[in-house]
Amino acid sequence: MAVIKQIFVNLPVKDLKRSIDFFTKVGFTFNPQFTDDNATSMIIGENIFAMLLVEDYFRTFTNKQIADAKNTTEVINAFSMNSRQEVDDIITKAIEAGGKQYKDNQDYGWMYGRNFEDLDGHQWEFFYMDESAMPKQ
């Protein structure tokens, strides 16, 4: 199997500046080298990026219709965090920036997760998992 070095999730957005402002408030940064009027590269982790692309530009990458994430779930972006506190912190920032929670929190003791929907309706989940506390099967 080939080793994947990086991941770039491409997401269509209606208003790039508004999306950048939102995700900046959530705590993300952007690579100016890959930012212009059509797109930006949001840095999620060491090798994890979300390319936020204005819808007209996004259309140049596909022959399919663009899903309206406000009405259709096209993907759920899920990310592992180092602690429950980190999960709470990022969700709090997202809600304060205008995002909204789309389902109840999950707390299984060994795994804790929360979520938000961004301004374009894309779904984001953040979770902390303590594998040493997982129930034995």
Q: How many CB atoms lie within 10 A of CB 15?
A: 13
pLDDT tens per residue, range 50-66: 999 999 999 999 999 99
**pLDDT at residue 136, rounded to an integer:** 84
Rounded to two decimals, what is the model's pTM? 0.92
Would you say 116 and 135 are in contact if contact means Cβ atoms under 8 Å apart? no
pLDDT tens per residue, range 90-112: 999 999 999 999 999 999 999 99
Average pLDDT over every residue of 66-76: 93
The CATH code that applies to domain 8-57+75-133 is 3.10.180.10
Return d(Cα 103, Cα 85) in angstroms, integer. Answer: 19
**pLDDT at residue 9, rounded to an integer:** 96
Q: How confident is the model at residue 121 (pLDDT cuts 50, 70, 90)?
A: very high
**pLDDT at residue 1, rounded to an integer:** 81
Return d(Cα 94, Cα 115) in angstroms, integer. Answer: 9
48-54 and 7-13 strand pairing: parallel
Measured in degrees and rounded to the nearest 5, phi and psi for residue 90 equal -70, -35
Q: What residue ranges do the domains of the chain occupy?
A: 8-57+75-133
Average pLDDT over every residue of 22-47: 97
- Mean pLDDT (the chain) is 96
Return d(Cα 136, Cα 24) in angstroms, integer. Answer: 40
Q: How confident is the model at residue 20 (pLDDT cuts 50, 70, 90)?
A: very high
pLDDT of 134 > 90? The answer is: no
